[in-house]
């Protein structure tokens, strides 16, 4: 084994670096534990999937009626930690510990990697602690963040020595495999880096042998990657996922994402690491031209440029995967930072760089703690119902009209690109109180531990398009678009009537709409409302204007919606003109409702204009009623057309 060169005299002592790293670790944990729950975009989805792993077979649970377990092997980094912890701890405590492990993995991984590149740059590794609270973490991409942090440890082993005996190769292969299980994309980035490292270290004549050995080391990881593509198929049934179109933002926006979609936060937090990385790349180019760069530096230079170019060239969203291009940014920036030749600077220059890094790390961690507290205050009202004494087993419909947490907050939180910390709020209520939600990561069998079965899909009856309905309600003018708003809320109320309950967060006036339509309040605080549908009994007395033996069509709907909520075809009954036929519904909607009746002369089971209509109804046959719990009966005299 060939040892790396000893560090120059400007390198900080090991004790100093260790002490600063421990202090930064305490800072990270402090910034995390200042809140009881850290709101994130996709985080609730991962918590929900981990909960399913633990309780899928519980006797009192109904998960097997909705989901099918899969053989997914990748994207399990979060559940590997969360699931066992949640078996012995409340899920929020388990989540705090899991996030702490992810944060510390990133910080110490960056420290180990920088030290492996050059001991003179070990203090630069402190930047990893400042980068730990990154955009991907706030987006809830927990498996990806953990896998990337593990990748830094993998690379630290690879860079530390130029010779890889079989034990080291086995260690690298095992870490790559663990990375792939956590999140295969991060493992692929590390695998690419290892290929470039081998090519830079070895003469061309040895490339075939070294690359062949590297390919053997990557076989387990490659199998996970192939499985994640779905090429190997899956025994689990999966409903077709909705595929979006690929999105390429303008170049200026893609450049801005280098900072806002990595370090995140205000400009003074997001841009310094990227600028330092660009400076490091500049030094790498200069040292390479002057033939002063080591093989490791050349490998970092090539890989950093490749990853940065991929972040700018690839689409932000593909048809199958959102936020794809920004996944290249973390390693691109870290590799650029590792190219800063701090050890080659004079003591004064090295001190300035180290001082700038210290300021950057302290301010980044301090801002994260401040932002986390502010985020908790902004999102807190929506989480108030988690402590309510409610137990559910069936479908629950979440409706969130402030997914960004800032529409109603007096103390607004910093807005990160694409982040909506309450978008998946319903998953948290399902974890805490039971039940299942229609919006979950249960569509791709090779990536998700569970998929929604056909029978489970049908048990939801109706899954409203939350992107369309929520967005229209959020942006609709409460006064100018009153009719539109009523129609949208009625659509959601109608859908929610078939769910065990509705978890609503939005304007209080909108929540009252649900109560007026026949919902019973189970919990209410500020703008959070949880209720279940009960409806108002309705008896419709249908009288024909003459003797008729054809079947009778009777239906009702939620006004102003035009689609019938329920239709009945009553068998042919000989009835004289004065006789009435009673039709009872135990849970018709309260408030405005329409009824329609007629004769099914052609046997189609559908109302048509020639079927006749209730006296006083419009041309479409609908007779509108205003209903309350006390007005239980209505009368319809069917007139022939």
Q: pLDDT per residue over 529-576, tens digit each? A: 999 999 999 999 888 776 667 788 899 999 999 999 998 888 766 445
Q: Which of residues 480, 508, 533 is at a domain's end?
A: 533
Q: What pLDDT was estimated at residue 524? A: 96
Pair 408, 506 in one domain: yes
Pair 492, 544 in one domain: no
Domain that holds residue 578: 536-639
Beta-strand relationship, 392-400 and 450-452: unpaired
Tell me whether residue 18 is in a domain.
no
Q: How many CB atoms lie within 10 A of CB 88?
A: 8
Q: pLDDT per residue over 130-150, tens digit each? A: 999 999 999 999 999 999 999
Tell me whether residue 259 is in a domain.
yes
Q: Name the domain count of the chain.
A: 3
Pair 162, 311 in one domain: yes
Q: Which of residues 508, 533, 558 is at a domain's end?
A: 533
Pair 285, 407 in one domain: no
pLDDT band at 40 (very low <50, low <70, confident <90, very high): very high
Distance CA 259, CA 251 (A): 14
Q: pLDDT per residue over 611-627, tens digit each? A: 888 988 988 889 998 87
Q: What pLDDT was estimated at residue 109? A: 97
Pair 505, 552 in one domain: no
In this structure, what CATH number is given to the domain that contains residue 574? 2.60.40.1120
Angle at 270 between CA 265 and CA 274, to 5 degrees: 165
Pair 519, 592 in one domain: no
Pair 151, 88 in one domain: yes
CB 542 within 8 A of CB 636: yes
Q: What pLDDT was estimated at residue 233? A: 57
Q: pLDDT per residue over 149-189, tens digit each? A: 999 999 999 999 888 999 999 999 999 999 999 999 999 99
Pair 435, 296 in one domain: no
Average confidence score pLDDT of the chain? 90
Distance CA 120, CA 123 (A): 8
Tell me whether residue 8 is in a domain.
no
Pair 346, 387 in one domain: no
Which of 283-292 are b and which e, b meaning 16 or more Cβ less than 10 Å from the residue's Cβ?
bbeebbeeee
Q: What pLDDT was estimated at residue 1? A: 44
Tell me whether residue 23 is in a domain.
no
Tell me whether residue 1 is in a domain.
no
Q: What pLDDT was estimated at residue 241? A: 54
Q: What pLDDT was estimated at residue 239? A: 57
Q: What pLDDT was estimated at residue 627? A: 79
Q: Which of residues 318, 353, 371 is at a domain's end?
A: 371
Distance CA 608, CA 542 (A): 17
93 vs 122, more confident: 93
Q: pLDDT per residue over 329-380, tens digit each? A: 999 999 999 999 888 777 777 788 878 888 999 999 999 999 999 999 999 9
3-state secondary structure string, 553-595? EEEEEECCCCCCCEEEEECCCCECCCCEEEEEEEEECCEEEEE
Angle at 498 between CA 496 and CA 502, to 5 degrees: 35
């Amino acid at each position: 084994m060939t040892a790396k060169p000893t560090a120059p005299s400007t390198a900080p002592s090991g004790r100093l670096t260790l002490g600063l790293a421990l202090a930064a670790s305490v800072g990270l944990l402090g910034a995390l534990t200042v809140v009881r729950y850290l709101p994130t975009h996709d985080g609730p989805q991962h918590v929900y999937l981990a909960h399913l792993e633990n309780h899928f077979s519980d006797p009192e649970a109904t998960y097997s009626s909705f989901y099918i377990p899969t053989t997914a092997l990748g994207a399990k980094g979060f559940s590997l930690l969360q699931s066992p912890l949640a078996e012995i701890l409340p899920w929020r405590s388990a989540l705090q510990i899991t996030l702490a492990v992810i944060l510390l993995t990133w910080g110490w991984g960056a420290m180990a990697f920088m030290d492996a590149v050059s001991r003179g740059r070990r203090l630069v590794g402190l930047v990893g602690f400042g980068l730990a609270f990154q955009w991907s973490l706030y987006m809830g991409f927990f498996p990806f963040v953990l896998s990337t942090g593990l990748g830094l440890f993998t690379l630290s082993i690879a860079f530390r020595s130029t010779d890889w005996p079989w034990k080291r190769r086995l260690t690298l292969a095992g870490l790559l495999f663990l990375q792939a299980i956590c999140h295969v994309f991060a493992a692929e980035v590390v695998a690419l880096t290892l290929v470039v490292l081998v090519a830079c270290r070895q003469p061309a004549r040895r490339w075939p042998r070294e690359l062949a050995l590297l390919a053997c080391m990557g076989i387990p990881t490659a199998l996970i990657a192939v499985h994640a593509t779905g090429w190997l198929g899956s025994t689990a049934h999966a409903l077709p996922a909705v595929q979006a179109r690929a999105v390429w933002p303008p170049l200026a926006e893609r450049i801005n994402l280098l900072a806002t979609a990595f370090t995140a936060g205000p400009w003074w937090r997001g841009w310094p690491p990227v600028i330092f990385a660009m400076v490091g790349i500049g030094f790498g180019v200069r040292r390479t031209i002057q033939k002063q760069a080591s093989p490791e530096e050349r490998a970092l230079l090539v890989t950093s440029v490749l990853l940065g170019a991929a972040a700018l060239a690839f689409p932000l969203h593909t048809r199958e995967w959102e936020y794809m291009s920004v996944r290249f940014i973390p390693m691109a920036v870290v590799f650029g930072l590792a190219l800063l030749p701090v050890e080659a600077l004079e003591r004064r220059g090295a001190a300035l760089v180290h001082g700038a890094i210290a300021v950057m790390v302290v301010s980044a961690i301090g801002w994260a703690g401040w932002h986390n507290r502010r985020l908790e205050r902004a999102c807190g009202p929506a989480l108030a119902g988690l402590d309510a004494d409610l137990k559910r087993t069936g479908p629950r419909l979440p409706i969130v009209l402030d997914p960004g947490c800032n529409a109603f907050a007096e103390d607004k939180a910093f807005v990160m690109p694409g982040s909506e910390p309450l978008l998946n709020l319903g998953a948290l209520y399902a974890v805490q109180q039971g039940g299942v939600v229609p919006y979950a990561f249960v569509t791709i069998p090779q990536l998700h531990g569970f998929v929604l079965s056909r029978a489970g899909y049908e048990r939801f009856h109706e899954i409203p398009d939350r992107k369309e309905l929520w967005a229209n309600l959020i942006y609709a003018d409460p006064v100018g678009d009153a009719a539109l708003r009523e129609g949208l809320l009625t659509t959601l109320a109608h859908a929610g009537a078939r769910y065990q309950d509705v978890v609503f967060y939005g304007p209080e006036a909108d929540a009252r709409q649900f109560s007026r339509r026949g919902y019973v309040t189970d919990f209410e605080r500020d703008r959070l409302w949880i209720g279940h549908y009960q409806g108002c009994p309705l008896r419709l007395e249908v009288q024909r204007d003459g003797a008729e033996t054809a079947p009778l069509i009777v239906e009702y709907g939620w006004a102003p919606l035009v689609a019938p909520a329920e239709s009945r075809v009553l068998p042919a009954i000989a009835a004289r003109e004065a006789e009435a036929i009673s039709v009872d519904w135990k849970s018709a909607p309260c408030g405005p409702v329409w009824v329609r009746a007629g004769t099914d002369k052609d046997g189609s089971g559908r109302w048509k204009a020639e079927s006749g209509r209730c006296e006083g109804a419009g041309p479409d046959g609908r007779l509108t009623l205003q209903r309350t719990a006390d007005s239980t009966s209505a009368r319809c005299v069917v007139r022939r057309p």
